Structure 1
Amino acid sequence: MRWQRLFADLQAEFDAAEAAAERAEDASRRRVETGAVRLVDRLAGAVGRPLTLRCQGAGDLTGVLLDVGADWLLLDGGGREVLVATSTVTTVAGLGRATAAPGDGSPVRARLDLRRAVRGLSRDRSVVQVVLTDGSAYVGTVDGVGADHLELAEHAADEPRRAAAVRGVRAIALPAVAVLRTLAPGLG
Protein backbone atom coordinates (compact mmCIF):
# COMPACT_ATOMS: atom_id res chain seq x y z
CA MET A 1 0.00 0.00 0.00
CA ARG A 2 2.82 2.42 0.92
CA TRP A 3 4.62 1.67 -2.34
CA GLN A 4 1.51 2.33 -4.39
CA ARG A 5 1.07 5.75 -2.73
CA LEU A 6 4.73 6.55 -3.28
CA PHE A 7 4.51 5.58 -6.96
CA ALA A 8 1.26 7.54 -7.35
CA ASP A 9 2.89 10.60 -5.76
CA LEU A 10 5.93 10.28 -8.01
CA GLN A 11 3.69 9.85 -11.06
CA ALA A 12 1.70 12.97 -10.11
CA GLU A 13 4.91 14.98 -9.63
CA PHE A 14 6.19 13.75 -12.98
CA ASP A 15 2.88 14.61 -14.72
CA ALA A 16 2.86 18.11 -13.16
CA ALA A 17 6.47 18.75 -14.21
CA GLU A 18 5.74 17.50 -17.72
CA ALA A 19 2.64 19.71 -18.01
CA ALA A 20 4.60 22.75 -16.79
CA ALA A 21 7.34 22.06 -19.34
CA GLU A 22 4.73 21.76 -22.11
CA ARG A 23 3.10 25.06 -21.10
CA ALA A 24 6.49 26.78 -21.10
CA GLU A 25 7.32 25.25 -24.49
CA ASP A 26 3.93 26.32 -25.92
CA ALA A 27 4.41 29.88 -24.67
CA SER A 28 7.93 29.95 -26.10
CA ARG A 29 6.71 28.56 -29.43
CA ARG A 30 3.92 31.20 -29.56
CA ARG A 31 6.47 33.97 -28.89
CA VAL A 32 8.69 32.68 -31.70
CA GLU A 33 5.71 32.40 -34.07
CA THR A 34 4.48 35.88 -33.15
CA GLY A 35 7.99 37.22 -33.62
CA ALA A 36 7.96 36.00 -37.22
CA VAL A 37 4.73 37.81 -38.14
CA ARG A 38 5.23 40.96 -40.20
CA LEU A 39 2.79 43.86 -40.28
CA VAL A 40 1.86 43.02 -43.87
CA ASP A 41 0.83 39.52 -42.69
CA ARG A 42 -1.40 41.04 -40.00
CA LEU A 43 -2.87 43.38 -42.59
CA ALA A 44 -3.49 40.55 -45.07
CA GLY A 45 -5.58 38.89 -42.36
CA ALA A 46 -7.74 42.03 -42.14
CA VAL A 47 -8.86 42.29 -45.78
CA GLY A 48 -12.49 43.37 -45.78
CA ARG A 49 -12.29 45.10 -42.39
CA PRO A 50 -12.56 48.84 -41.76
CA LEU A 51 -9.18 50.16 -40.60
CA THR A 52 -7.64 53.43 -39.54
CA LEU A 53 -4.04 53.89 -40.67
CA ARG A 54 -1.69 56.63 -39.55
CA CYS A 55 0.75 57.36 -42.36
CA GLN A 56 3.82 59.58 -42.61
CA GLY A 57 2.88 62.72 -44.47
CA ALA A 58 -0.79 61.77 -44.91
CA GLY A 59 -2.02 61.53 -41.32
CA ASP A 60 -4.99 59.30 -40.51
CA LEU A 61 -6.69 57.37 -43.30
CA THR A 62 -9.88 55.41 -42.71
CA GLY A 63 -11.43 52.87 -45.03
CA VAL A 64 -12.15 49.24 -45.75
CA LEU A 65 -9.01 47.28 -46.61
CA LEU A 66 -9.52 45.90 -50.12
CA ASP A 67 -6.16 44.34 -50.90
CA VAL A 68 -2.56 43.97 -49.73
CA GLY A 69 0.43 43.83 -52.04
CA ALA A 70 4.14 43.33 -51.52
CA ASP A 71 4.66 46.93 -50.33
CA TRP A 72 1.24 48.57 -50.62
CA LEU A 73 -2.31 48.49 -49.27
CA LEU A 74 -5.52 49.42 -51.04
CA LEU A 75 -8.32 51.06 -49.06
CA ASP A 76 -11.83 52.02 -50.07
CA GLY A 77 -11.95 55.48 -48.55
CA GLY A 78 -15.63 56.20 -49.05
CA GLY A 79 -15.85 55.64 -52.79
CA ARG A 80 -12.27 56.79 -53.47
CA GLU A 81 -9.54 54.22 -53.76
CA VAL A 82 -6.50 54.99 -51.64
CA LEU A 83 -3.20 53.28 -52.46
CA VAL A 84 -0.89 53.38 -49.43
CA ALA A 85 2.84 52.61 -49.36
CA THR A 86 3.24 50.25 -46.38
CA SER A 87 6.62 51.78 -45.56
CA THR A 88 4.77 54.95 -44.50
CA VAL A 89 2.28 53.21 -42.16
CA THR A 90 3.12 53.96 -38.53
CA THR A 91 0.00 52.60 -36.74
CA VAL A 92 -3.07 50.53 -37.61
CA ALA A 93 -6.33 50.35 -35.68
CA GLY A 94 -9.07 47.78 -36.27
CA LEU A 95 -7.01 44.72 -37.22
CA GLY A 96 -8.91 42.07 -35.29
CA ARG A 97 -7.38 38.68 -34.46
CA ALA A 98 -6.79 37.18 -37.91
CA THR A 99 -3.31 36.98 -39.39
CA ALA A 100 -2.27 35.60 -42.75
CA ALA A 101 0.43 32.97 -42.68
CA PRO A 102 3.89 34.61 -42.71
CA GLY A 103 5.17 34.93 -46.25
CA ASP A 104 1.84 33.62 -47.55
CA GLY A 105 1.19 34.38 -51.19
CA SER A 106 2.33 33.39 -54.59
CA PRO A 107 5.54 34.52 -56.30
CA VAL A 108 3.36 36.52 -58.71
CA ARG A 109 1.75 38.38 -55.78
CA ALA A 110 5.18 39.14 -54.33
CA ARG A 111 6.09 40.89 -57.60
CA LEU A 112 2.99 43.12 -57.45
CA ASP A 113 4.84 46.00 -55.85
CA LEU A 114 3.95 49.68 -55.55
CA ARG A 115 5.50 50.42 -58.93
CA ARG A 116 3.19 47.97 -60.68
CA ALA A 117 0.15 49.21 -58.73
CA VAL A 118 0.90 52.80 -59.83
CA ARG A 119 1.25 51.56 -63.42
CA GLY A 120 -2.36 50.39 -63.14
CA LEU A 121 -3.40 53.94 -62.25
CA SER A 122 -1.39 55.20 -65.23
CA ARG A 123 -3.16 52.78 -67.59
CA ASP A 124 -6.56 53.86 -66.23
CA ARG A 125 -5.67 57.53 -66.76
CA SER A 126 -7.15 58.21 -63.32
CA VAL A 127 -6.84 61.67 -61.83
CA VAL A 128 -4.95 61.22 -58.57
CA GLN A 129 -3.67 63.13 -55.60
CA VAL A 130 -0.14 62.05 -54.68
CA VAL A 131 0.72 62.72 -51.04
CA LEU A 132 4.41 62.56 -50.15
CA THR A 133 5.99 61.56 -46.86
CA ASP A 134 6.75 65.23 -46.15
CA GLY A 135 3.04 66.07 -46.40
CA SER A 136 3.15 67.87 -49.74
CA ALA A 137 0.52 66.88 -52.30
CA TYR A 138 0.23 67.07 -56.08
CA VAL A 139 -2.75 66.47 -58.38
CA GLY A 140 -2.74 65.17 -61.91
CA THR A 141 -2.52 62.06 -64.04
CA VAL A 142 0.29 59.52 -63.85
CA ASP A 143 1.91 59.60 -67.28
CA GLY A 144 4.42 56.85 -66.61
CA VAL A 145 6.28 54.85 -64.00
CA GLY A 146 10.02 54.30 -64.08
CA ALA A 147 12.16 51.94 -62.05
CA ASP A 148 12.15 54.27 -59.03
CA HIS A 149 9.84 57.17 -59.86
CA LEU A 150 6.54 58.19 -61.38
CA GLU A 151 5.86 61.07 -63.73
CA LEU A 152 2.81 63.13 -62.87
CA ALA A 153 1.22 65.45 -65.44
CA GLU A 154 -0.04 68.17 -63.13
CA HIS A 155 -3.46 69.60 -63.93
CA ALA A 156 -6.63 70.62 -62.11
CA ALA A 157 -8.62 67.72 -60.71
CA ASP A 158 -11.76 68.80 -62.56
CA GLU A 159 -10.06 68.78 -65.97
CA PRO A 160 -9.12 65.73 -68.04
CA ARG A 161 -5.46 65.24 -68.88
CA ARG A 162 -5.15 67.26 -72.06
CA ALA A 163 -2.04 69.08 -73.30
CA ALA A 164 -3.67 72.48 -72.75
CA ALA A 165 -4.62 71.62 -69.14
CA VAL A 166 -1.19 70.30 -68.08
CA ARG A 167 0.78 72.87 -66.06
CA GLY A 168 3.90 70.74 -66.01
CA VAL A 169 5.26 67.24 -65.49
CA ARG A 170 6.77 66.37 -62.14
CA ALA A 171 9.00 63.34 -61.49
CA ILE A 172 8.31 61.93 -58.01
CA ALA A 173 10.59 59.39 -56.35
CA LEU A 174 8.56 56.31 -55.39
CA PRO A 175 10.16 56.04 -51.92
CA ALA A 176 8.78 59.55 -51.19
CA VAL A 177 5.18 58.51 -52.00
CA ALA A 178 2.96 57.95 -48.96
CA VAL A 179 -0.49 57.79 -50.56
CA LEU A 180 -2.15 57.98 -53.97
CA ARG A 181 -5.86 58.81 -53.93
CA THR A 182 -8.11 58.53 -56.95
CA LEU A 183 -10.15 61.70 -57.34
CA ALA A 184 -13.62 62.18 -58.68
CA PRO A 185 -13.88 65.03 -61.17
CA GLY A 186 -14.07 68.37 -59.39
CA LEU A 187 -12.13 67.23 -56.31
CA GLY A 188 -8.67 68.48 -55.51
Structure 2
Amino acid sequence: MRWEQLFADLEGQLAEQEAAAEQGDEASRARAEHGRVRLADRLRGSAGQDVSLSSRGAGELAGRLVDVGVDWVLLVDHQRREVLVALGAVSAVSGLTTATAVTDAAGVVDRALDLRRAARALARDRAALHCLLVDGAVLAGTVDRVGADFLEVAEHPIDQPRRRGAVTGVRAVPLDAIVALRTSEPAAG
Protein backbone atom coordinates (compact mmCIF):
# COMPACT_ATOMS: atom_id res chain seq x y z
CA MET A 1 0.00 0.00 0.00
CA ARG A 2 2.75 2.45 0.82
CA TRP A 3 4.46 1.88 -2.54
CA GLU A 4 1.22 2.53 -4.41
CA GLN A 5 0.69 5.78 -2.52
CA LEU A 6 4.32 6.82 -3.09
CA PHE A 7 4.05 6.11 -6.83
CA ALA A 8 0.74 7.97 -7.02
CA ASP A 9 2.33 10.98 -5.30
CA LEU A 10 5.31 10.86 -7.66
CA GLU A 11 3.03 10.60 -10.69
CA GLY A 12 1.04 13.59 -9.45
CA GLN A 13 4.19 15.65 -8.90
CA LEU A 14 5.53 14.72 -12.34
CA ALA A 15 2.22 15.66 -13.98
CA GLU A 16 2.25 19.03 -12.18
CA GLN A 17 5.83 19.70 -13.28
CA GLU A 18 5.03 18.80 -16.91
CA ALA A 19 1.94 21.04 -16.85
CA ALA A 20 3.97 23.93 -15.39
CA ALA A 21 6.71 23.46 -17.99
CA GLU A 22 4.12 23.36 -20.77
CA GLN A 23 2.48 26.56 -19.51
CA GLY A 24 5.92 28.19 -19.34
CA ASP A 25 6.63 27.13 -22.94
CA GLU A 26 3.26 28.53 -24.09
CA ALA A 27 3.92 31.82 -22.33
CA SER A 28 7.40 31.96 -23.85
CA ARG A 29 6.01 31.26 -27.33
CA ALA A 30 3.34 33.93 -26.84
CA ARG A 31 5.96 36.49 -25.76
CA ALA A 32 8.12 35.62 -28.77
CA GLU A 33 5.11 35.97 -31.09
CA HIS A 34 4.19 39.35 -29.58
CA GLY A 35 7.79 40.41 -30.04
CA ARG A 36 7.42 40.06 -33.82
CA VAL A 37 4.33 42.29 -34.08
CA ARG A 38 5.06 45.67 -35.67
CA LEU A 39 3.06 48.82 -34.90
CA ALA A 40 1.73 48.82 -38.48
CA ASP A 41 0.31 45.30 -37.92
CA ARG A 42 -1.24 46.38 -34.65
CA LEU A 43 -2.82 49.40 -36.35
CA ARG A 44 -3.99 47.33 -39.34
CA GLY A 45 -6.06 45.24 -36.92
CA SER A 46 -8.06 48.38 -36.03
CA ALA A 47 -8.92 49.45 -39.59
CA GLY A 48 -12.27 51.22 -39.71
CA GLN A 49 -12.07 52.34 -36.06
CA ASP A 50 -11.55 55.81 -34.63
CA VAL A 51 -8.02 56.20 -33.32
CA SER A 52 -5.91 59.04 -31.98
CA LEU A 53 -2.24 59.38 -32.85
CA SER A 54 0.07 61.49 -30.70
CA SER A 55 2.80 62.94 -32.87
CA ARG A 56 5.89 65.09 -32.69
CA GLY A 57 5.18 68.61 -33.90
CA ALA A 58 1.48 68.20 -34.68
CA GLY A 59 0.05 66.92 -31.40
CA GLU A 60 -3.04 64.71 -31.58
CA LEU A 61 -4.21 63.55 -35.00
CA ALA A 62 -7.53 61.75 -34.71
CA GLY A 63 -9.95 60.11 -37.10
CA ARG A 64 -11.17 56.90 -38.66
CA LEU A 65 -8.31 54.57 -39.56
CA VAL A 66 -8.67 53.90 -43.29
CA ASP A 67 -5.42 52.23 -44.29
CA VAL A 68 -1.95 51.39 -43.04
CA GLY A 69 1.19 51.23 -45.17
CA VAL A 70 4.68 50.16 -44.33
CA ASP A 71 5.58 53.58 -42.85
CA TRP A 72 2.34 55.58 -42.94
CA VAL A 73 -1.23 55.60 -41.65
CA LEU A 74 -4.22 57.10 -43.46
CA LEU A 75 -6.95 58.68 -41.37
CA VAL A 76 -10.11 60.54 -42.28
CA ASP A 77 -10.47 63.24 -39.63
CA HIS A 78 -13.69 64.64 -38.17
CA GLN A 79 -13.84 67.28 -40.95
CA ARG A 80 -13.66 64.37 -43.45
CA ARG A 81 -10.17 65.42 -44.63
CA GLU A 82 -7.64 62.72 -45.45
CA VAL A 83 -4.57 62.76 -43.21
CA LEU A 84 -1.53 60.76 -44.31
CA VAL A 85 0.56 60.36 -41.15
CA ALA A 86 4.23 59.32 -41.16
CA LEU A 87 4.46 56.39 -38.77
CA GLY A 88 7.94 57.51 -37.70
CA ALA A 89 6.46 60.71 -36.24
CA VAL A 90 3.91 58.86 -34.09
CA SER A 91 4.76 58.69 -30.39
CA ALA A 92 1.61 56.96 -29.08
CA VAL A 93 -1.67 55.49 -30.32
CA SER A 94 -5.00 55.22 -28.52
CA GLY A 95 -8.30 53.68 -29.58
CA LEU A 96 -6.88 50.38 -30.85
CA THR A 97 -9.05 47.29 -30.75
CA THR A 98 -7.74 44.00 -29.39
CA ALA A 99 -7.24 42.70 -32.94
CA THR A 100 -3.84 42.55 -34.57
CA ALA A 101 -3.35 41.88 -38.28
CA VAL A 102 -1.32 38.87 -39.29
CA THR A 103 2.32 39.96 -39.55
CA ASP A 104 2.77 38.44 -43.01
CA ALA A 105 -0.55 39.81 -44.33
CA ALA A 106 1.17 42.68 -46.14
CA GLY A 107 2.11 41.51 -49.60
CA VAL A 108 4.93 42.63 -51.84
CA VAL A 109 2.82 45.46 -53.29
CA ASP A 110 1.76 46.68 -49.84
CA ARG A 111 5.35 46.70 -48.60
CA ALA A 112 6.37 48.82 -51.61
CA LEU A 113 3.75 51.49 -50.83
CA ASP A 114 5.87 53.66 -48.59
CA LEU A 115 5.39 57.32 -47.68
CA ARG A 116 7.34 58.42 -50.74
CA ARG A 117 5.00 56.60 -53.12
CA ALA A 118 1.93 57.84 -51.25
CA ALA A 119 3.24 61.41 -51.57
CA ARG A 120 3.73 60.83 -55.31
CA ALA A 121 0.04 59.97 -55.58
CA LEU A 122 -0.79 63.31 -53.92
CA ALA A 123 1.54 65.08 -56.38
CA ARG A 124 -0.25 63.40 -59.30
CA ASP A 125 -3.65 64.44 -57.90
CA ARG A 126 -2.45 68.06 -57.50
CA ALA A 127 -4.30 68.11 -54.17
CA ALA A 128 -4.08 71.28 -52.11
CA LEU A 129 -2.85 70.26 -48.67
CA HIS A 130 -1.20 71.18 -45.42
CA CYS A 131 2.21 69.68 -44.77
CA LEU A 132 2.68 69.35 -40.98
CA LEU A 133 6.32 69.24 -39.91
CA VAL A 134 8.08 67.85 -36.83
CA ASP A 135 9.12 71.37 -35.75
CA GLY A 136 5.45 72.44 -35.63
CA ALA A 137 5.52 74.40 -38.91
CA VAL A 138 2.67 73.99 -41.38
CA LEU A 139 3.18 74.54 -45.09
CA ALA A 140 0.17 75.15 -47.34
CA GLY A 141 0.26 74.31 -51.02
CA THR A 142 0.66 71.45 -53.47
CA VAL A 143 3.24 68.69 -53.67
CA ASP A 144 5.13 69.39 -56.91
CA ARG A 145 7.55 66.48 -56.91
CA VAL A 146 8.91 63.72 -54.73
CA GLY A 147 12.55 62.71 -54.62
CA ALA A 148 14.26 59.76 -52.97
CA ASP A 149 14.19 61.31 -49.48
CA PHE A 150 12.35 64.63 -49.87
CA LEU A 151 9.36 66.30 -51.46
CA GLU A 152 8.85 69.80 -52.81
CA VAL A 153 5.85 71.85 -51.79
CA ALA A 154 4.75 74.73 -54.02
CA GLU A 155 3.45 77.14 -51.39
CA HIS A 156 0.26 79.00 -52.25
CA PRO A 157 -2.97 80.04 -50.54
CA ILE A 158 -4.83 76.81 -49.77
CA ASP A 159 -8.09 78.17 -51.18
CA GLN A 160 -6.50 78.82 -54.60
CA PRO A 161 -5.43 76.26 -57.18
CA ARG A 162 -1.73 75.87 -57.87
CA ARG A 163 -1.04 78.43 -60.56
CA ARG A 164 2.24 80.17 -61.30
CA GLY A 165 0.88 83.53 -60.10
CA ALA A 166 -0.38 82.07 -56.80
CA VAL A 167 2.85 80.29 -55.84
CA THR A 168 4.80 82.27 -53.26
CA GLY A 169 7.71 79.84 -53.05
CA VAL A 170 8.84 76.26 -53.31
CA ARG A 171 10.27 74.37 -50.34
CA ALA A 172 12.13 71.09 -50.33
CA VAL A 173 11.17 69.09 -47.22
CA PRO A 174 13.02 65.96 -46.08
CA LEU A 175 10.59 63.05 -45.69
CA ASP A 176 11.93 62.55 -42.16
CA ALA A 177 10.68 66.04 -41.24
CA ILE A 178 7.07 65.29 -42.23
CA VAL A 179 4.49 64.42 -39.59
CA ALA A 180 1.47 64.43 -41.88
CA LEU A 181 0.06 65.53 -45.20
CA ARG A 182 -3.55 66.68 -44.73
CA THR A 183 -5.86 67.48 -47.64
CA SER A 184 -7.72 70.77 -47.45
CA GLU A 185 -10.96 69.42 -48.90
CA PRO A 186 -13.21 66.71 -47.45
CA ALA A 187 -12.66 63.22 -48.84
CA ALA A 188 -15.04 62.10 -51.57
CA GLY A 189 -17.77 59.72 -50.46
Residue 161 (structure 2) aligns with: 160
Distance in 1 separating the partners of 2:72 and 2:175 = 12
Distance in 1 separating the partners of 2:110 and 2:177 = 23
Amino acid at match of 2:149: D
User: How far 1:141 sits from its partner (Å)?
Assistant: 0.7
Residue 62 (structure 1) aligns with: 62
Q: How does 1:1-188 map to 2 (within 5 A)?
A: 1-78=1-78, 79-184=80-185
Secondary structure at 1:151 match in 2:
strand
| TM-score normalized with structure 2 length | 0.93
Return 5+ residue gaps in structure 2 as ranges.
Answer: none
Distance in 2 separating the partners of 1:20 and 1:146 = 56
Return 5+ residue gaps in structure 1 as ranges.
Answer: none
Amino acid at match of 2:63: G
User: How far 1:38 sits from its partner (Å)?
Assistant: 1.6
CA deviations over 1:4-59 (Å, ceiling 9, x no partner): 33322222111111111111111111111112212111111111111010011110
Distance in 1 separating the partners of 2:136 and 2:104 = 31
Secondary structure at 1:150 match in 2:
strand
- What's the C-alpha RMSD, in Å, of the aligned pairs? 1.3
| TM-score normalized with structure 1 length | 0.94
Aligned length, in residue pairs: 185
Which stretches of structure 1, 4 residues or more, deviate above 6 A after TM superposition?
none
Stretch moving more, 36-45 or 14-23: 36-45
Amino acid at match of 1:48: G
Distance in 1 separating the partners of 2:9 and 2:170 = 82
Distance in 2 separating the partners of 1:28 and 1:151 = 48
